[in-house]
Amino acid sequence: MDVAMNPSNVKPSDEASKVNFLRRQMCVTLPTVLSGDVDLADKTAIVTGGNAGLGFQCCVQLVDLGLGRLVIAARNEAKGQAAKEELCARKHTKTTIEVWWLDLGSYDSVQAFVERVKTLDGVDMIVQSAAMFGVDFKVNDKTKHEEMVQVNYLSNALLTILLLPVLRAKKRAGKPATRIAWVNSETAAWAQFKERSGESILAELDKPGGFEYLERYCTSKLLCQLFVVELCRRVSASTAVVVLVNPGFCWGSRLHRDVGGVVGGVLAVVKRIIGRSPEEGARTLTDAVVRHGDEVHGQYLGDCKLKPMAPLVYQAEGAKIAEALWAETMAELEFAHVEEVLAGVGE
């Protein structure tokens, strides 16, 4: 299947509509993975952002399913340790749990984390749930890029690329390739993405003028969709199955913790009315790494089913933007020799 083709019978414009968003939030019941459905006793999982919110609830579900080994990747190691203690206190927990430091605001941290992954015997599933939602325009001190673009897109892109040769080398004989579930959002389809008309997409996103936090969050998620389509054109599912997953709008995720005042109060009420619980949202993450095969490579899961990405992804304009974004991303990450890395795993 061409990764840029809509894999479902749902029109991208229909999936992107606000009415259908509300219907999904209010009417869809997400499936639960039961212990009898899977055998994870000899499996190893990494969950970024696993100390809180949806990431933590995904850890809970994997541990309850009998996962053999879990690595919680957290920016705050103390909070990671607290999450580990809570998980270890659960009934019948047999999972070996470790906490590793990962700061997606730092390329050095991403590279060091990947070096540490090399010490594992193998990795069967990775959930990239770490993300941020900042209300103020902020430039990353180290990379000089706008912080939401840095954390939600650029650093996660680097992490994904650098992990690929490690996962390929450590693939166990007779076992399926590692599943990488990168948490995404339906809000990608709502991005106006005016920066696409500039000479440089990343340079335009680094400008403070016109910054609006919700729009920027939506755009950061759209960048991820455009990137994954290009990545999976170059890397086959035999190396790793990379899939975007939408958990829906959830309360208790702490993603919007920086939104204060009247807006924050209204948002909290809306979340409780139409939002999914963290446990419900996390079902989509667990489902993405234990229930699906090669058919989801380079695709997007919503409500635990294949769904279309943002309409732009399937348009001629989107294809050109994706190519331009890919070129800029390769240039940005050149210090890590990403093109050589991809050439080594490409098929």
Active site residues: 217, 221
Give CA–CA dist 286/35, Å, rounded: 12
- Assess contact for 337 and 283: CB atoms under 8 A: no
* Distance set, CA 210 to CA 135, 152, 181, 193 (Å): 13, 19, 32, 11
* Distance set, CA 291 to CA 255, 296, 339 (Å): 26, 10, 31
Give CA–CA dist 116/339, Å, rounded: 21
What's 186's DSSP letter?
G
Tokens found for residue 43: 């499996």
Strand order in the sheet with 240-246: 96-101, 69-74, 44-48, 125-128, 178-183, 240-246, 300-302, 305-307
What's 276's DSSP letter?
B
Give CA–CA dist 327/339, Å, rounded: 10
Residue 37 CB-density burial (10 A; 0-12 exposed, 13-18 middle, 19+ buried)? exposed
* Distance set, CA 130 to CA 172, 182, 192, 238, 304 (Å): 27, 9, 24, 25, 20
